[in-house]
Structure 1
Amino acid sequence: MKNVNNSNTRLILLHPYIQKQGSSNRLWLLAFISFLTTAFVVTLIYTREYSTTAVASAATTTFSPTTTAYSNAPLPSTVINTLLHYASKSNDSFRMSYPELKPISDVLRKCSSPCNFLVFGLTHETFLWKALNHNGRTVFIDENRYYAAYVEQKHPEIDAYDVQYTTKMSEMQELMASTREQVRNECRPVQNLLFSECKLAINDLPNHAYEVDWDVILVDGPREEWPNGPGRMSAIFTAGVLARSKKGGNPKTHVFVHDFCGEVERAYSEEFLCRENLVESTEKLGHFVLERMDPSSFQFCGNRTQRLHHPAH
């Protein structure tokens, strides 16, 4: 067997004399050739599998950390500015202008990753908020169940839920009065809204929504502004309670109220977000920063004598 691979042996195996031997010799030859062929094929497969595995392993080792780091990296400033530029270039009065978009974008940009962003309202800016909160959790709340389902079906990356508002804008004064009466009970500023019976509380969100420590909350819905429309009373009250009831994360929550010039938005922001927490405002956007409160607290605002005034033009 030592000489099987040298040239003389191969010459003898192929010599015509061998072909004249009996059937047993031919069978032996065929078996030997089959053995060599099988060994060659097995060796070839093993070598290719080993090479593929080695290359894949090397690629994972080499590129995986870079890819992960890239996917977790914040959006570059040029990308953010481009998104804001094109999102604000419209004559549609329902779209936010650049001065309204920029403060929200700045807060999201500085928010520690992952950033928890809750938005009341599915609007023209929905995809912008999702993009700007890169690597974070963005959840949208809308009053139209059919539209929320449509958006989620067409855009699975959008996390949207519908709520059934029971309030009416025409009842804004009565609702505020009843909430003041229940401020030490069902309408207290620190509570689990899932079990609340306060008329302004939104308690039909998915359970996990009440367990999230929201870093940023934007009130830009509901959209209906006629007397029988739900108004934004419940959204503003709920935002104030969620911010004050945080159990972990950053103790501060940024709350933005769009259409800040509206009667409901102004009055309910004053009542439940409070003048002392207003850090900046324009005619159309109010920016509040609320801090986590002790569960024994029963007062939304520290200074009830202050009032929210329209900014000077």
Structure 2
Amino acid sequence: MKTANGTKLIVLHPPSYTQYHRLFFLFFISFFTFALFLSLTPSKDLSLSSSATTTHNNDLPKPISEALLHYTISDNNTHMTSMELNIVASVLRSYQFSSNFLIFGLTHETHLWKALNFKGRTIFIDENEYLVKKFEDIDSQIEAYDVQYTTKVSQTAELMSYGKEEYKNECRPFQNLLFSECKIGLTDLPNHIYDINWDVILIDGPKGYSGHTPGRLSAIFTAGVFARSKKMKNVKTHVLVHEINRDLERECSSEYLCDQNLVETTDNLGHFVVGTGDAKTFEFCNSDFLPSSSSLSSSMISDIK
């Protein structure tokens, strides 16, 4: 560009937000991979002869290499923010990337969760049978199961009232849901899922944006029961609820995960730490900490139909 006096100006245009977001996310994955590689590399002097020999132990773990490839060629942006991703990564890091990790919802982050927990066991639950098969076709090592949800967002207030009536019977906070008939619990998952002591549970599904969608009542309730019913006593479970800014997710989390267990909220991700219970307990939360309204009102339901 030339000014009136003939002087040339060079104008630099900053990158768009989308480009910046992608570069930041790629940097996050690359930094994690580099740090992980250093942690896996033996701390000893390498001679010229040994450096020429490639050992299988120093290979990049397959879940991580696949995740790097996936996010490098993908045109989609992650729907979680960088701060939300960092919270989940920090929790998994506290378990040395070797936790029992249960995720409700197959999302754009699926490969990332599997990669970050590469030394542990990661299982995905989703309502879309086609999507489950699609992910399994892409990566045969992904363990995912489809489930038929029987709840709807429009029924949430009614179902939560039913749950309160059944706290001492079918909807107890401490039980094996495999043998339960609780309407708000997931009782038809593969049998082995009920036997695992879950360290981390992420709730990012099913769909809950309209009245006819399943909503996350069952997933949040089930996570609360799983955390309290672990065979290992005095061990806590990290439960992370995405989109906790929505009324349903916030109210259900308050009811079944409890406000006193909420340790942080980052953007739209709620982080709860829930301890084990016992068979004599029939309340999910300490009544001293219950909010003034612990169930969804009709007006809240109508707002999200």
The one-letter amino acid of 1:194's match is L
Relative to structure 1, the CA distance from residue 101 to residue 233 in structure 2 (aligned partners, 3 Å threshold; closer, same or farther) is same
> Which residue among 79, 89, 114 is the counterpart of 2:98?
114
Relative to structure 1, the CA distance from residue 250 to residue 147 in structure 2 (aligned partners, 3 Å threshold; closer, same or farther) is farther
Q: Partner of 2:263: helix, strand, or coil?
A: strand
Partner Cα separation in structure 2 for residue 308 and residue 261 of structure 1: 18
Q: Which residue of 1 aligns with 2:217?
A: 233
Matched residues, number:
236
Partner Cα separation in structure 2 for residue 120 and residue 247 of structure 1: 22
TM-score (normalizing by structure 1): 0.69
Map 1:1-313 to 2 at 5 A.
67=56, 92=77, 95-112=79-96, 114-248=98-232, 251-307=235-291
Q: Partner of 1:281: helix, strand, or coil?
A: strand
Q: Which residue of 1 aligns with 2:9?
A: none
Radius of gyration: which is bigger? Answer: 1
Relative to structure 1, the CA distance from residue 116 to residue 214 in structure 2 (aligned partners, 3 Å threshold; closer, same or farther) is same
Relative to structure 1, the CA distance from residue 182 to residue 72 in structure 2 (aligned partners, 3 Å threshold; closer, same or farther) is farther
Partner Cα separation in structure 1 for residue 243 and residue 97 of structure 2: 28
Partner Cα separation in structure 2 for residue 117 and residue 95 of structure 1: 20
Gaps of 5+ in 1: 1-62
Relative to structure 1, the CA distance from residue 205 to residue 91 in structure 2 (aligned partners, 3 Å threshold; closer, same or farther) is closer
What's the CA shift for 1:308? Answer: 9.6
Partner Cα separation in structure 2 for residue 181 and residue 98 of structure 1: 40
Relative to structure 1, the CA distance from residue 224 to residue 265 in structure 2 (aligned partners, 3 Å threshold; closer, same or farther) is closer
Partner Cα separation in structure 1 for residue 210 and residue 290 of structure 2: 29
What's the CA shift for 1:146? Answer: 1.5
User: More helix per residue: 1 or 2?
Assistant: 1
Q: Partner of 2:149: helix, strand, or coil?
A: coil
Partner Cα separation in structure 2 for residue 167 and residue 99 of structure 1: 31
Gaps of 5+ in 2: 1-52, 294-305
Partner Cα separation in structure 2 for residue 308 and residue 222 of structure 1: 27
Partner Cα separation in structure 2 for residue 306 and residue 176 of structure 1: 15
Relative to structure 1, the CA distance from residue 145 to residue 308 in structure 2 (aligned partners, 3 Å threshold; closer, same or farther) is farther
Percentage identity across paired residues of the two chains: 52
Partner Cα separation in structure 1 for residue 59 and residue 276 of structure 2: 31
What's the CA shift for 1:296? Answer: 1.4
Partner Cα separation in structure 1 for residue 179 and residue 80 of structure 2: 34
Partner Cα separation in structure 1 for residue 258 and residue 292 of structure 2: 8
The answer to whether the 8 Å contact 2:203/2:240 transfers is: yes
What's the CA shift for 1:72? Answer: 11
Relative to structure 1, the CA distance from residue 250 to residue 157 in structure 2 (aligned partners, 3 Å threshold; closer, same or farther) is farther
Partner Cα separation in structure 2 for residue 285 and residue 170 of structure 1: 23
Q: Comparing 105-114 with 229-238, which one deviates more in the overlay?
A: 105-114
Q: Partner of 1:255: helix, strand, or coil?
A: strand
What's the CA shift for 1:162? Answer: 0.4
What's the CA shift for 1:235? Answer: 0.3
Bigger relative contact order, structure 1 or 2 (CA pairs below 8 A, ≥6 apart): 2
Partner Cα separation in structure 1 for residue 234 and residue 89 of structure 2: 18
Q: Partner of 2:125: helix, strand, or coil?
A: strand
Partner Cα separation in structure 1 for residue 174 and residue 83 of structure 2: 32
What's the CA shift for 1:186? Answer: 0.4
Relative to structure 1, the CA distance from residue 277 to residue 305 in structure 2 (aligned partners, 3 Å threshold; closer, same or farther) is closer
Q: Comparing 246-255 with 212-221, which one deviates more in the overlay?
A: 246-255
What's the CA shift for 1:152? Answer: 1.1
The one-letter amino acid of 1:183's match is Y
The 4+ residue runs of structure 1 with deviation greater than 4 A are: 70-73, 89-92
What is the RMSD computed on CA atoms of the aligned residues? 3.0
Q: Which residue of 2 aligns with 1:16?
A: none
